Each structure stands twice: as structure tokens, then as C-alpha cells.
């Protein structure tokens, strides 16, 4: 029986919620990235990975008070995006001891150790705000998709569970910084009701994972496909009587 706790990031939870068979292939099968279950940064960045990592590193250097000229001189697009963000958020131009860049938090829940890394966390006596840098333009109809994404859920949930703040005192702001558009933001407020909903979803998802993981290792029973995923390439394996989507 598998009893060792898993260290899970929002990227792991998002894939597990969307497609358990892909989670199995990526993390559980021999030759898969099983060790990634101990790496909170795995699959946590944007699709434009290299450029996105550079942007995050530059913003961390900025918060540490390190010079940026040498880095920005080599990448005009990076320089323009960083300058545009600093102009859009004037508070970032001033040092503030309440800000914590690349701030990591851990939360033990059931069979998992949940881990988050905040691009920037700003704490005050009355509340806390998470800022997250997205290195692509703001998508259309982004609010609903982002609200339902496990990054949003997990980041706010862990902060509420590991601090003295009430859920109502917390918010998460995504900044979309990729040019040619000007930086755009999307702010989501947390609440006690949302906190309860996320806890229920988390407990259900972790219970499923514990059962599926045990069945996989002990009986080689594959993780099941989600019934509502009509475009999943694994759907025919688990639902052979259902015709594939025409899309």
C-alpha cells in the first residue's frame, strides 16, 4: 500500500483534475517524471517558459534591489515589459519590507504536502495580496477560467490556512505583461464561502488520488478518464461506447 505523502503544486492538481490518465503517464508510470511530485515548480510556469522564467527572475532581482541593466540590455522585449509593469504598478518602484518575492509556503493536508510559490506577496495589518506575473496577454473571458483554475484556488487557500488573515482579507491579482499590449490585471477577492468550497474540492481530489495511486501500484489499475472530458485522447479506452466529439 502506498502511504508516502505527495508534494503537490497547483500544476499537479490542475492536471489531475483535468485528466487523471495524463497525470498517471507523467508522474506514476516507469520512466515518467515521478520525481516532479517533489518539485513545486514543475509545470507551474507559462507556456512561453524560457522568456517567462527570465521575467520572473528579473522581478525577483528587482525586489532584492539588484541591478537590472546587464540583464535587460540583452533583451529589448524583456526590458519593455518590465518597465511597463513598473509604470503600471507605481508601488513596485518603492522598497517595501512587507513585500516578499518568490515566497514559498507549505500546507499538510490528508495524504499530501501542498506547496505554493508566490511571485510576490504583500502583507499588511489588514490583509494580504498575492501578485502573479503572467507572461502572455490577458485572454478573452479569462475571469471564469482563472477563477476555476487550481492556481487561484490553491494560492488563496494555502495563504488563508497558513496565516492569521480571514479569507475576506485576501486577494490575488494576475498581471499579464507580454507586449505589445499594455500590462493588464485581473483581481480576485477571496471569501469564507470560497474557502469552504476549495477545501471540499481538495479533500475529494486528494481522496481520489490516494485511491487511484494505491490501485495503480498494487493492482496496475489505470487512473480513470473524467466522464465530462469529451476531447480527452484517453476517453475511448474508458468509455468505448461513447462516440468521440466532432470538434
| Calpha distance 216→223 (Å, rounded) | 7
* Among 134, 117, 152, 100, residue whose Cα is nearest residue 40: 117
| Calpha distance 225→42 (Å, rounded) | 22
Q: Give tens-digit pLDDT for 90-111.
A: 999 988 989 999 999 999 998 8
What per-residue confidence (pLDDT) applies to 68?
87
* Vertex 109: Cα angle to 160 and 212 (nearest 5): 135
Residues linked to residue 117 through DSSP beta bridges, in sequence order: 104
| Calpha distance 105→225 (Å, rounded) | 31
Least confident of 89-98, 185-194, 195-204, 228-237: 228-237
**pTM, to two decimals:** 0.85
Residues 6+ apart with CB under 8 A from 205: 13, 16, 17
Residues 6+ apart with CB under 8 A from 181: 137, 138
| Calpha distance 78→133 (Å, rounded) | 13
Q: Domain locations in the chain?
A: 6-238
- Structural fold of domain 6-238: Lambda Exonuclease; Chain A (3.90.320)
Least confident of 107-111, 169-173, 200-204: 107-111
In the three-class reduction of DSSP (H, G, I as helix; E, B as strand; rest coil), residue 150 is classed as helix
Q: Give tens-digit pLDDT for 106-157.
A: 999 988 999 999 999 999 999 999 999 999 888 877 777 888 999 999 999 9
Residues 6+ apart with CB under 8 A from 118: 100, 102, 103, 104, 105, 130, 131, 132, 155, 159
* Vertex 154: Cα angle to 129 and 32 (nearest 5): 135
Q: Give tens-digit pLDDT for 46-58.
A: 445 788 899 999 9
In the three-class reduction of DSSP (H, G, I as helix; E, B as strand; rest coil), residue 16 is classed as helix
Whether 41 shows a pLDDT value over 80: the answer reads no
Amino acid at each position: 500500500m502506498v502511504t508516502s505523502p505527495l508534494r503537490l503544486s497547483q500544476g499537479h492538481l490542475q492536471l489531475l483534475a483535468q485528466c487523471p490518465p495524463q497525470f498517471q503517464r507523467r508522474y506514476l508510470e516507469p520512466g515518467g517524471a515521478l520525481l516532479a511530485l517533489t518539485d513545486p515548480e514543475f509545470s507551474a510556469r507559462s507556456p512561453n517558459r524560457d522568456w517567462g522564467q527570465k521575467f520572473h527572475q528579473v522581478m525577483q532581482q528587482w525586489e532584492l534591489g539588484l541591478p537590472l541593466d546587464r540583464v535587460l540590455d540583452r533583451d529589448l522585449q524583456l526590458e519593455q515589459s518590465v518597465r511597463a509593469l513598473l509604470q503600471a504598478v507605481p508601488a513596485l518602484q518603492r522598497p517595501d519590507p512587507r513585500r516578499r518575492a518568490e515566497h514559498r509556503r507549505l500546507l499538510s493536508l490528508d495524504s499530501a504536502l501542498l506547496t505554493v510559490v508566490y511571485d510576490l506577496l504583500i502583507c499588511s495589518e489588514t490583509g494580504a495580496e498575492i501578485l502573479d506575473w503572467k507572461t502572455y496577454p490577458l485572454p478573452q473571458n479569462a475571469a471564469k477560467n482563472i477563477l476555476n483554475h487550481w492556481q487561484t484556488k490553491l494560492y488563496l487557500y494555502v495563504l488563508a490556512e497558513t496565516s492569521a488573515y480571514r479569507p475576506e482579507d485576501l486577494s490575488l491579482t494576475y498581471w499579464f505583461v507580454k507586449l505589445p499590449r499594455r500590462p493588464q490585471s485581473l483581481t480576485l477577492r477571496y471569501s469564507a464561502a470560497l474557502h469552504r468550497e476549495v477545501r471540499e474540492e481538495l479533500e475529494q481530489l486528494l481522496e481520489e488520488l490516494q485511491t487511484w495511486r494505491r490501485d495503480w501500484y498494487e493492482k496496475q489499475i489505470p487512473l480513470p478518464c473524467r466522464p465530462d472530458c469529451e476531447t480527452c485522447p484517453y476517453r475511448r479506452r474508458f468509455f468505448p461506447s461513447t462516440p468521440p466529439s466532432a470538434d
